[in-house]
Amino acid sequence: MNRFTSTTRFRWMFTQQPIAGRFRRSFVTAAVLMLGTIGLTQSYGAEPPITALTISADDTTLVAGSQLGVHVISWPDLIPTFVREVGFPQIYDLKFSPNGRQLLIVGGATAEYGEWKLVSWPGFEVIATRTSHRDVIHSAAWLSDDLFVTGAADHDLIQWRLSDGEAEEMRVVHGHSRRVLCVESISEQNLVVSAGIDQVLRVWSGEQGILSEPPLRNLDNHTGAVCDLAVRPGGHAIVYLASASVDRTVRFWQPTIGRLVRFARLPVEPTSIAWSRDGERLAVGGSDGKLRIINPNTVEIEQTLDGIDGWIYEVAAAGDGSFAVAGAGGAIARVIAAEPSK
């Protein structure tokens, strides 16, 4: 298996490897506190990896996606509540709407179709669902409470509008030459950024309410597939965006002006990134199961923390400064990083 395939298999090859189910709880007095590392296999009787992860706006619920469906887990104590099947075999992204009252679930079946489902939160009643794209959907981003974009393995983006429980396909956007793995929105600037296997971040304008072609700019400094994007929260005169790539770098951009600000080199390939809620540090999940905390101003790796055994596929930030990490074997952990130095 080549270097690229080994890094991105969780997004599109999805080979399942049996791992013994387990429940592990340990406490340490260092910067890392593993408060209830669990294998969902222990709770639900199977062992697929977690491939999507998000935390509710009120910080009481962790939502995870796997081949079993959508798992709802209490946060921060990591007690499984229930699991719901969604009707398609692979889930690759979970995104709450800006108002927190809707949950968008995207995925599909590799090499067959993409599908998304929108449910109410926390009721989990289906609002709308569509089979779309010619291949599995890897990522989605909300532009507003009634607009969102999906990016898929068929190389395309689709912009959607919701109205009275119906979904309208507004536009199919072409531009990537290979699979789209990640999509992020910069709503205050009416921009969407997408990236994937073709190594290029493409910045799209939605100034007229609909994405326009060609892209405003292409950011092509990465030398490997881009597996994740994350917009920096907090007030900044110019928006910051982080990107993670199999070239073993995390790069920090000002995409509205097309500027690469700085980058950090990593000892392993990153798989997922998430900003702390205050935007003061970036958490990077790696193929070695570690969570690395990067200072975005110095690009130093300030902490390397234990995460899970095996690949971390997803990272999510909580309001208390901790992070949820998940991945191989259905494992999920809460990781508490040390407070940043003043």
Distance between CA atoms of residues 118 and 314, nearest Å: 21
Name beta bridge partners: 120: 102
The pLDDT assigned to 342 comes to: 57
CA angle 311/231/279 to nearest 5° reads 90
Q: b or e along 278-317 (b: 16 or more beta carbons within 10 Å of the residue's beta carbon)?
A: ebbbbbbbbbbbbbbbbbbeebebebbbbbbbbbbbbbbb
The pLDDT assigned to 296 comes to: 96
Distance between CA atoms of residues 103 and 36, nearest Å: 25
Give the pLDDT band (50/70/90) at residue 235.
confident
DSSP string, 268-291: S-EEEEEE-TTSS-EEEEETTSEE
Distance between CA atoms of residues 274 and 210, nearest Å: 27
Distance of CA 119 to the CA centre of its chain: 18
Quickly count: other Cβ atoms within 10 Å of residue 206's Cβ. Answer: 22
Distance between CA atoms of residues 146 and 55, nearest Å: 20
The pLDDT assigned to 12 comes to: 28
Strand ranges inside 67-123, DSSP E: 69-74, 79-84, 90-96, 102-109, 113-120
Average pLDDT over residues 181-198: 95
5-41 pLDDT tens trace: 333 333 322 222 222 222 222 222 222 223 344 444 3
241-299 pLDDT tens trace: 999 999 999 999 999 999 999 999 999 999 999 999 999 999 999 999 999 999 999 99
The pLDDT assigned to 341 comes to: 63
Q: Which domains does the chain have, with CATH numbers?
A: 35-47+227-337 (2.130.10.10), 86-220 (2.130.10.10)
Quickly count: other Cβ atoms within 10 Å of residue 330's Cβ. Answer: 27
Quickly count: other Cβ atoms within 10 Å of residue 6's Cβ. Answer: 13
Give the pLDDT band (50/70/90) at residue 47.
confident
Tokens matching residue 15:
């080979």
99 phi and psi angles, rounded to 5 deg: -85, -5
- pTM for the whole structure: 0.87
Give percent of the chain above pLDDT 90: 80
287-340 pLDDT tens trace: 999 999 999 999 999 999 999 999 999 999 999 999 999 999 999 999 999 886
68-93 pLDDT tens trace: 999 999 999 999 999 999 999 999 99
Q: Are 322 and 336 in contact (CB under 8 A)?
A: yes
213-231 pLDDT tens trace: 999 999 999 999 999 999 9
